[in-house]
């Protein structure tokens, strides 16, 4: 039998999705599963976006420009200009989700064997995208004890070698919910400038910043405009995960000229997705106010409920809609599977994402899980009750 490629063998399974078969089996047994494992909001997609699809009179679904529809890119440019990111439509490539933006960025800027430094825990698919591009991730570890604040820049500098070509940051962070400050980003910019590195900035959760904090974009950093590659998406901003529309933005013309060749190779981003994305830019401000207030309530409830459970520690995130939680368990992967295979409370259970898959360093995150507080408060309340009972009954509880 022919062998699978090394790349395929090394490709990690998603820590978010690998437990799906166990969840499906639990549902078949009649158990209700509360999905805290994935960032799929239950927030309604903006009506203006849904109406744009309903009201189309397209007779032929055609290819778009490989960089995306010009009308959409022009409106996107205005969106960024309104938040003081001064780009024009020719500096934007529309992608098939934020995922393709990351892949295009890595493939355009990095060679096989190059290294990128990423604060861990990090979005699990960075590992997969790195394997696809043939590059190596060098993690710098942040700690749950201080809420996953950015590691001192000296720790980044220790990892820099001749192979180091970039730093990847997600702000606000998935999976931790940490919001990097202007000061932290400026410290990163110093090392980017010193070693002439790329700064890949994933800003998908830009609108979700709490407690009076504001988002500071990597595109706001001075003197490294040619080094910054911004990756973005409509998925979380407008609760449009299935639309699969993202964007790669940069002032670096060489990167744009290279990335468009990858864009041409995949022909074009989704046509209907671009219609939704373009219409979403007309979403009224009150939509975001309602969503913001809802997430604040969900966050406050979830964090308080988790910290009331004996042996659990949950930092208070300033952004996104995730928390990484420390649990009194021997192995979070085993615990997550046990929840779905062997546990039920009042006919209910919880699905969480083991945090080990969000670390690159082996052995880290073994007693941590990521929880997405994307469900309504009634469901969150039931989920927290399930988790509390489960931790009392789990055979591998550590204390």
CATH of the domain at 341: 3.90.1150.10
Is the same domain home to 184 and 161? yes
The reported pLDDT for the residue numbered 14 is: 83
Mean pLDDT of 201-211: 97
Is the same domain home to 66 and 188? yes
Is the same domain home to 252 and 351? no
Question: In the predicted model, is pLDDT for residue 324 greater than 90?
Answer: yes
Is the same domain home to 256 and 359? no
Mean pLDDT of 53-60: 94
Is the same domain home to 92 and 236? yes
Is the same domain home to 321 and 275? no
The reported pLDDT for the residue numbered 251 is: 98
Q: What are the start-end ranges of the H helices in the chain?
A: 6-10, 20-28, 47-54, 70-82, 97-109, 125-133, 153-159, 182-195, 253-265, 271-280, 285-308, 332-341, 377-393
The reported pLDDT for the residue numbered 16 is: 74
The reported pLDDT for the residue numbered 233 is: 98
DSSP string, 311-346: T-B----SBTTEEEEE-SBS-HHHHHHHHHHT--BT
Question: In the predicted model, is pLDDT for residue 34 greater than 80?
Answer: yes
Mean pLDDT of 300-318: 98
The reported pLDDT for the residue numbered 195 is: 98
Query: Considering the domain boundaries, does residue 398 fall inside one?
Result: no
Is the same domain home to 80 and 23? no
Is the same domain home to 173 and 126? yes
How far apart CA 214 and CA 220 sit, in angstroms, is: 13
Instruction: Note down the domain range covering 62.
Output: 48-280
* Closest to 350 measured CA to CA, from 34, 28, 119: 34
Question: In the predicted model, is pLDDT for residue 197 greater than 90?
Answer: yes
Query: Considering the domain boundaries, does residue 1 fall inside one?
Result: no
* Secondary structure of 279-317 in HEC code, one letter for each residue: HHCCCCHHHHHHHHHHHHHHHHHHHHHHHHCCCCECCCC
Query: Considering the domain boundaries, does residue 338 fall inside one?
Result: yes
Question: In the predicted model, is pLDDT for residue 108 greater than 90?
Answer: yes
Question: In the predicted model, is pLDDT for residue 141 greater than 90?
Answer: yes
Is the same domain home to 52 and 38? no
- Average pLDDT of the chain, as a whole number: 97
210, 245, 280 - which closes a domain = 280
Is the same domain home to 235 and 300? no
The reported pLDDT for the residue numbered 17 is: 80
* Closest to 229 measured CA to CA, from 245, 213, 246: 246
Q: What is the pLDDT of residues 284-294, one digit of tens each?
A: 999 999 999 99
Query: Considering the domain boundaries, does residue 119 fall inside one?
Result: yes
| Domain containing residue 78: CATH number | 3.40.640.10
The reported pLDDT for the residue numbered 15 is: 75
Enumerate residues 6+ apart whose C-beta is below 8 A from 312.
Answer: 306, 325, 326, 327, 328, 391
* Closest to 240 measured CA to CA, from 271, 206, 277: 277
Query: Considering the domain boundaries, does residue 153 fall inside one?
Result: yes
Is the same domain home to 372 and 293? yes
């Amino acid at each position: 039998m022919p062998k699978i490629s090394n790349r395929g063998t090394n490709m990690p399974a998603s820590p978010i999705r690998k437990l799906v078969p166990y969840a499906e089996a639990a549902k078949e047994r009649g158990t209700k599963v509360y999905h805290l494992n994935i960032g799929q909001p239950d927030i309604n997609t903006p009506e203006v976006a849904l109406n744009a699809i309903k009201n189309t009179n397209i007779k032929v679904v055609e290819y778009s420009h490989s960089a995306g529809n010009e009308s959409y890119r022009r409106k996107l440019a205005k969106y960024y200009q309104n938040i003081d990111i001064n780009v024009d439509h020719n500096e934007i490539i529309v992608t098939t989700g934020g995922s393709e933006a990351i892949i295009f960025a890595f493939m355009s800027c990095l060679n096989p064997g190059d290294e990128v430094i990423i604060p861990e825990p990090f979005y699990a698919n960075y590992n997969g995208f790195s394997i696809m591009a043939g590059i190596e991730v060098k993690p710098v570890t942040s700690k749950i004890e201080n809420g996953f604040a950015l590691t001192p820049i000296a720790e980044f500098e220790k990892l820099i070698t001749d192979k180091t070509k970039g730093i990847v940051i997600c702000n606000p962070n998935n999976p931790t919910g940490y919001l990097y400050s202007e000061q932290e980003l400026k410290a990163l910019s110093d090392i980017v400038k010193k070693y002439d590195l790329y700064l890949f900035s994933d800003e998908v959760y830009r609108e979700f910043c709490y407690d009076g904090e504001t988002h500071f974009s990597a595109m706001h950093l001075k003197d490294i405009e040619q080094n910054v590659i911004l990756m973005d998406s409509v998925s979380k901003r407008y609760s449009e995960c299935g639309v699969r529309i993202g964007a790669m933005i940069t002032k670096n013309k060489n990167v744009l000229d290279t990335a468009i060749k990858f864009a041409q190779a995949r022909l074009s981003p989704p046509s209907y997705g671009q219609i939704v994305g373009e219409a979403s830019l007309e979403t009224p401000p009150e939509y975001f106010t309602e969503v913001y207030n809802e997430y604040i309530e969900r966050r406050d409830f979830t964090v308080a409920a988790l910290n009331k459970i004996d042996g659990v520690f949950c930092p208070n995130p300033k952004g996104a809609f995730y928390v990484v939680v420390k649990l009194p368990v021997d192995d979070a992967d085993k615990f997550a599977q046990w929840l779905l295979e062997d546990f039920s409370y009042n006919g209910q259970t919880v699905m969480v994402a083991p945090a080990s898959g969000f670390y690159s360093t082996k052995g880290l995150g073994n007693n941590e899980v990521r929880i997405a507080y994307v469900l309504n408060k009634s469901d969150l309340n039931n989920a927290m009750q399930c988790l509390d009972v489960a931790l009392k009954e789990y055979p591998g509880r550590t204390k």
